[in-house]
Chain A
Amino acid sequence: MDYKKPALGASAGRRVKTLKGESLGAVQEVCIERARLLTESYKATESEPMILRRAKALYRVLEKMSIFVRKEGLLVGNQAGRLRAAPIYPEYTIGWIVEEIDELEKRPGDRFVVAPEVKEELLDICGWWKQRTVHERCLKTLPDEVKRAYDIGVLSARGNMTSGDGHIILDFPKVLQVGVGGIIDEARNASDALDMTVGDSVHKKEVLESVVTAYGGVLFFIKRYMELAGRLCETENEERREGELGMIRDTCRALLDGPPRSFREAVQLVWFMHLISQIESNGHSMSLGRFDQYMYRFYKRDREKGVLTDEDVVELLACLWIELFGVIKIRPWSHTRFSGGGPTYQNLTLGGVTQEGEDAVNELTLLCLDSVSLTGLPQPNVSARVSPKNPRAYVQKCVETIKLGFGMPAMHNDELMIPSLLNRGVSLEDANNYAIVGCIEPIIPGKHGYRAAGMSFTNFPKVLELALNDGKDPRTGIRLHRGTGDLSTFESFDEVMSAFKDQMAYYVNLRIRGEHVIDRAIECLVPDPFCTGLVFDCIGRGKTPKEGGALYDMVTGPETGVTNAGNALAAIKKLVFDERLITGGKLLKALETDFEGADGEQVRQMCLNRAPKFGNDDEYVDGITSETYMVFIRELEKYKNARYGRGPLGCISYPCTATISGNVPSGFVVGATPDGRKSGEPLAEGCSPYRGTDLLGPTAVIKSVSRMPNILITGGNLLNQKISPSALASEEGMGKLEDLIRTFFDLKGWHVQFNIVSTETLKEAQKKPELYKDLVVRVAGYSALFTMLEPATQDDIIARTVHTLS
């Protein structure tokens, strides 16, 4: 592979700048069109089977919604009537829309404009949806016990009841192979072949016909863009743009006729498919899979024919990433406030090994990285798979991208993920082919069912709090499962651990019961025919993914605060039982009062400083943290998900620490904890050490994380690390970061992502030192905790950081 970073010409640079500026500058607004068209269709089809109603509704949206071609765009396909407008999906929930509609414009962040006539119509539409949404079905069918567990905050599944499943990767290679028409033919043939006198053929036929209808809508949608581009082309005065519009028109025409023949057509088709999946449903984490693999044959063919340059590729990819950024999801404020910037977690997976286990890095892999560096937008969420077989040039390109400071790519370890998937029964070929969905969760692209990640949140410190209080929640007073005593009565650490196990067993059971009910509601009320057409083997089985149509169906939901719970248990063991520095009763009292008063503060300081913390390469606390997670894992392994026995392989749940920003709200409901964390403070992020408690640098953190049961955490184990720009200033420094990553992977670490500590961060840390206790700054031959330095010294470091980056 002879790769040279392409220089972008002036016109391409201008285009990228214009499109990016337009997308960033657009005012976010609510778009009524989808809700209107969907509801009209639903009203007209009330007597029909749900899956057909959904197909017809999607068809109608694709047929009637406003479409446009961006002034300088090379790709077409818009999610809503205007740029960065958010469609509404009333079939999942309407409650928060009705409640928050007047507030949407007044939010401190992620504001949405709602025109008065839109507001009126939307409220009217919501009126029709009353008693018809997934959320209301769930609230009616969930057992009381489960709902009360949600109230306590020990479990959380709100997102699952109020939006689509998402967390899936369509079978892009297939649609690139057979084209849209090929999917229709396949569904039609399967439908025709059904013996209508046996089994549930009637339902299968409904599913298959719904696929035919949905993809008919897709063709209609593409045809509309072809016509629009054609009309614009005719009236365009500028020759350059006329040519581009003609190309868009011809690209759409080619996609109507059959599978794509060129790289450009293939990119357009991938975008249409990815976009439509997000018009069909509003689940987030819809991901692109292994783009650098399935697009490579198009790239190579066009390059060999001499009809495509690397510069064209970077320009086109930049356009695609800007379109991805344009996918908007409007969410309730309770969710939005903790996920600023409206993340959509559209993951792009690069590198790693091929299905056959060989080095998969190619020119397109590097072009993807260079194009992402060029746009520097929060989407796509880039994941770099790393295998020992990958060339150094690739990993160094990743480090170069990391150095730019937007947190990408996240680095993933093939050598752990592949065996972990094998252990779950995935075939070697499919395990080699894994791709990341959402943040860090590996799934089998095109063959894995819905919501492979993002099931219920399980709040570990909350489970511990219940265990320390005889099963009673101090915040709400609810007691669902009586324990065996409280912290003042336990006589040994073993008794503490068994109380924790007991509560965990109870709540894992509730979690699974809740998930089965919610899955049932989604299966019945919001089947997705478009998605069904591009998940293997839904067409073969005549089933939606939710009914068991996928080859693999394994799910995971994040566990929050695992390291807090580990630290807390280690503190109890060390302070109460090993060293007897404090009695259980006194510690419990301090927790109840949130470490109030001078005595309370002394207890807190003791908890913070005299008990070891995860992230410092300390076997004592690392061992307890690992065991804390194992308590949960052993319980979770006892259950199957709602598709068990209905076709897919697996049908299990496995652990995952992709907490996204859920660690913040999860902390709200948890009182003071024995790790010294105060009531309501955030929990640790992923499996990262709790903020400010890892004091020995990244190698110690890596050693601690490597002690977790990583191979069993098939849903992904998330580590965020901060790094100072000076560490990456020289080529030597960049090489050392690669060595750090590679060693982490040698030690069977799962995932790591680096945030470069910017000047802004340092300035912020000066203002709010309590939030940046763990910030280590490094200068020649010397390192220090930033917040412990005096202001003048901090200023010196800030000045130096600016120098290093410039």
Chain B
Amino acid sequence: MKATDTKAVIGRVFEIERYAINDGPGIRTLIFLKGCGLACVWCSNPESQSSHPQLVHYVKKCLRCEACVSICERDALSLESGGIVIRRDRCDGCGACVSVCNTGALVLLGKSMTPEEAFSEVLKDEPFYRRSGGGVTFSGGEPLMQGEFVLRVAKLCKKHYIHTAIETCGFASWETFERLLPAIDLFLYDLKEMDPERHNEYTGVDNDLILENFERLAGTGKEIIVRVPVIPGHNDRDENFEMIIDFIRRHVPGCRVDLLPYHRLGKPKYDRLGMPYIPDSTDPPSPSRMESLKKEFAQAGFQVSIGG
């Protein structure tokens, strides 16, 4: 056994979703990993951005019994008229409050798991993968931020003949990609914005590394599905999509493209996390807009689907 294999690798997982049918072939299990190098203004999974555990409170479930308030050693919780208030500067995510809450009103997002633990969750739906050609999809967050953990879980999957996919924004070192190549069958690669300045404005980072990695990945011949979010008022501009089409046609002609319409389902999560919801005034794109985009991508020779 190699020395690196014995080193403890712990993943920070915020959700494992079974029967996922929109993120790769067949019936899949999604492992959502916490932590992302980007902070897209339209992000629907804000709990994925920070790599630390985060406490959330569901007001509707709370009985206001204050058991959580009493047990917290750091005085991070208090009961106010609107429910439990979390002082995030004090909370260290120890989870003591969660363990005394009978109602499930308090939830700690970001569970520490060993690769074996995560894999045992994946294995639960093996019969469904076998039948449907499904498998596991690492998502996030940006799973490449936990590249070593992903690699360990993916290797276990490959050992058990389970298909592996990763959903990535591409913002990681090429070395991280390279290490994963033997263990990942499919890359779901997000391309959001071709204009570097706008990319920076919407996501907090430049897109040069992302595009460079894409080119290199395409060069390896690995299967890629390109995923393009459609965010009105942001990246939803004809010239942006024309550039995306141009770019991917050069590198992965005829590949599958999933167009993902913006949705507001992430909004309540922002509230629970005490984060501001920026794109409040943004409406989802109209079905007709989605259809016309689908047509454009299809005319450029891609296999397009709306919604993955």
Contacts and interface: CB of A to CB of B under 8 A. Distances in A.
A428 interface: no
B261 A780 contact: yes
Contacts of B18: 696-697, 699-700
B147 interface: no
B22 A698 contact: no
B265 A784 contact: yes
Contacts of A746: 127, 131
B284 A609 contact: no
B215 to A, nearest CB: 25
Interface string B19-30: 111110011000
Contacts of B307: 726, 779-781
A781 B22 contact: yes
B160 interface: no
A423 B131 CA distance: 28
B1 interface: no
Nearest to A728: B21
Q: Nearest 3 A-B pairs (CB), nearest first?
A: A739-B132, A780-B307, A605-B102
A602 interface: yes
A377 interface: no
A234 interface: no
B305 interface: yes
Given A782-B263, A790-B268, A602 B124 contact: no
Interface in B267-308: 267-268, 284, 287, 305-308
Contact of A788 (B58, B306, B308): B58
Contact of B264 (A727, A740, A796): A796
A598 B103 CA distance: 12
Interface in A395-443: none
B236 to A, nearest CB: 15
A597 to B, nearest CB: 11
Interface in B109-138: 124-125, 127-128, 130-132, 134
Contacts of B2: none
Contacts of A609: 102-104
Contact of A606 (B102, B124, B134, B258): B102
Given A598-B65, A605-B102, A736-B27, A790 B267 contact: yes
A736 B26 contact: yes
A706 B27 CA distance: 18
Contacts of A788: 58, 60, 268
B265 A743 contact: no
8 contacts: A605-B103, A699-B27, A730-B305, A743-B131, A746-B131, A784-B265, A790-B268, A792-B264
A781 B268 contact: no
Contact of A733 (B21, B102, B125, B258): B21
B69 interface: no
A601 B287 CA distance: 45
A44 interface: no
A761 B104 CA distance: 26
A763 interface: no
A800 B27 CA distance: 22
A492 B63 CA distance: 31
A560 to B, nearest CB: 28
Contact of A779 (B125, B131, B134, B265): B265
A793 B23 contact: no
Interface in A719-746: 726-727, 730, 732-733, 735-736, 739-740, 742-743, 746
Interface in A690-719: 696-700, 703
A796 B284 contact: yes
A43 interface: no
B44 interface: yes
B260 interface: yes
Interface of B: 17-23, 26-27, 44-45, 58, 60, 63, 65, 102-104, 124-125, 127-128, 130-132, 134, 139, 258, 260-261, 263-265, 267-268, 284, 287, 305-308
Contacts of A598: 63, 65
B105 to A, nearest CB: 9
A139 interface: no
A9 B150 CA distance: 58
Given A606-B102, A609-B103, A796 B131 contact: no
Contacts of B260: 780-781
Contact of B127 (A743, A793, A797): A743
A780 B263 contact: yes
B263 A727 contact: no
A601 B63 contact: yes
Contacts of B267: 790, 792-793
Contacts of B27: 699, 736, 739-740, 743
A793 B265 contact: yes
A605 B264 contact: no
B22 A699 contact: no
B63 A736 contact: no
Interface string A352-364: 0000000000000
A610 B128 contact: no
Nearest to B306: A780
Contacts of A747: 127
B263 A779 contact: yes
A696, A732, A778, A779 — most chain B CB neighbours (10 Å): A779
Contacts of B131: 739, 742-743, 746
A35 B131 CA distance: 56
Contacts of A784: 265
A617 interface: yes
A26 interface: no
B124 A617 contact: yes
Contacts of B134: 739
Contacts of B104: 605, 609
Contacts of A610: 102
A602 B267 CA distance: 30
A353 B305 CA distance: 37
A740 B63 contact: no
A605, A733, A746 — most chain B CB neighbours (10 Å): A605
A334 interface: no
A803 interface: yes
Interface in A608-622: 609-610, 617
Interface string A757-786: 000000000000000000000111111100
A697 B102 contact: no
A739 B26 contact: yes
A727 B130 CA distance: 20
Contacts of B44: 782
Interface in A657-714: 696-700, 703
Given A602-B65, A736-B21, A789 B265 contact: yes
Contacts of B102: 602, 605-606, 609-610
Interface string A793-806: 10011001001000
Contacts of A803: 287
